[in-house]
Amino acid sequence: MGGKMISKNKLKELAAYRQQKRCDEEGLFVVEGPKMAAEALASGVAIRTVCAVAEWLSAHAGGMAADVVCEVSPAELERLSNFKTPNQVWMLVERSEVSVESGRLVLALDRIQDPGNMGTIMRTADWFGVRHIVCSADTVSCFNPKVVQASMGAVFRTRVDYVDLPQWLAACGMPVYGASLHGRPLGEVPAPGDNAVLLIGNESRGISPEAMTAVTHPILIPNRGGTAESLNASVAAGILLNYFIG
């Protein structure tokens, strides 16, 4: 099954969603490539529009409503894509709130700026079953196209809230474990398991002084090599989640 050929006006209309502001205003986000398209279809998220080349449509479009599916050429797909090398399919999907259980470990992110780091942290949290991430207002959007791509589907399974982080941490009623160069080494800190917050700071500046005031348990990943200045934020998150949960 193919889709209707896209018109020039429709293509121009959809190309506007390359702008994050437009997506934010309408509560939408963009998904690209076969892997992420499969994740979107499996998640049951509401799909507003699908634009894809004939090869992808012939294999996947059978279960979708005909009025949301458009066939595009590789050149037209390139006009829609946020990436240098578009990959077969582009989707415009609706944002939805993921439900989470209370009393579980919450991951908090303070001023994470790099989309690749953010997406990888989401993917890692997903691996360990962490479904709730709370972010400072100035952390990169989880719906940024590069974040969505790097999350490898975690964006469909993870609730991400943007808040006044120091205020949220102070009021959460849970112990807050914060990664700090001045914390206790991991081996000396009992893993808390559920009903706690794990706080990861900015890639270069760490946890802000304002958020640090709410940290009840400063923790340190020991620098065994003694040479590297710091760890990548997503790598640190993976090590800490494995210690907390693994």
Residues 36-49: pLDDT tens digits? 999 999 999 999 99
What is the pTM for the complete model shown? 0.92
Q: How far is CA 191 from CA 4, 19, 82, 109, 175, in A?
A: 55, 42, 40, 19, 12
CA distance 98 to 193: 22
Give tens-digit pLDDT for 202-234: 988 889 999 999 999 999 998 888 776 778 899
Give tens-digit pLDDT for 133-188: 999 999 999 999 999 999 999 999 999 999 999 999 999 999 999 988 889 999 89
Domain residue extents for the chain = 4-94, 106-245
Orientation angle between helical segments 115-127 and 233-245, nearest 10 degrees: 10
Could you tell me what percent of the chain has a pLDDT over 70? 98
**CATH 3.30.40.10 at 4-94, yes or no:** no
82: Cα within 13 Å, side-chain hemisphere: 21
Q: For the chain, what is the mean pLDDT?
A: 92
Residue with the larger pLDDT of the pair 25 and 194: 25
48: Cα within 13 Å, side-chain hemisphere: 14
The fold of 106-245 is Alpha/beta knot (3.40.1280)
Q: What is the pLDDT of residue 179?
A: 87
Model confidence at 1: pLDDT above 70 = no
